[in-house]
């Protein structure tokens, strides 16, 4: 088993920016990660949960901006 040292992450810098995607709506959601380093770690879980939920909503949204599953997903007929 590998040893874990308490200060092993102490010198790792936090990323200055969040990687952009090809989807501006997703970029808007994940941009909230940029401020995470300035927050107390006790607040990180709430931020991650909110971002996760917003990303799920973006994935479930219609491509034209409407609500609901993307076309072809969850449609009956077979």
At 53 the pLDDT is 96
More confident of the two residues 73 and 53: 53
Check if the beta carbon of residue 21 is closer than 8 Å to that of residue 27. yes
pLDDT digits (tens, 9 = 90+) for 18-47: 788 888 888 999 888 888 888 899 999 999
At 9 the pLDDT is 55
Extract the tokens encoding 67. Answer: 């609500």
Check if the beta carbon of residue 71 is closer than 8 Å to that of residue 62. yes
**Three-state secondary structure call for residue 30:** helix
| pLDDT greater than 60 at residue 70 | no
At 34 the pLDDT is 85
Q: Comparing C-alpha atoms, which of 54, 58, 78, 76 is closest to residue 68?
A: 58
Calculated CA dihedral for residues 70, 73, 76, 77, nearest 10 degrees: 100
- Domain ranges, ordered by start, for the chain: 41-65
């Amino acid at each position: 088993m590998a040893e874990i040292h308490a200060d092993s992450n102490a010198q790792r810098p936090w990323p200055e920016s969040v990687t952009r995607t090809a989807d501006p709506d997703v970029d808007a959601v994940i941009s909230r990660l940029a401020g995470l380093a300035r927050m107390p770690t006790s607040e990180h879980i709430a931020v991650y949960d909110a971002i996760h939920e917003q990303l799920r909503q973006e994935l479930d949204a219609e491509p034209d901006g409407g609500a609901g599953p993307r076309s072809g997903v969850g449609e009956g007929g077979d």
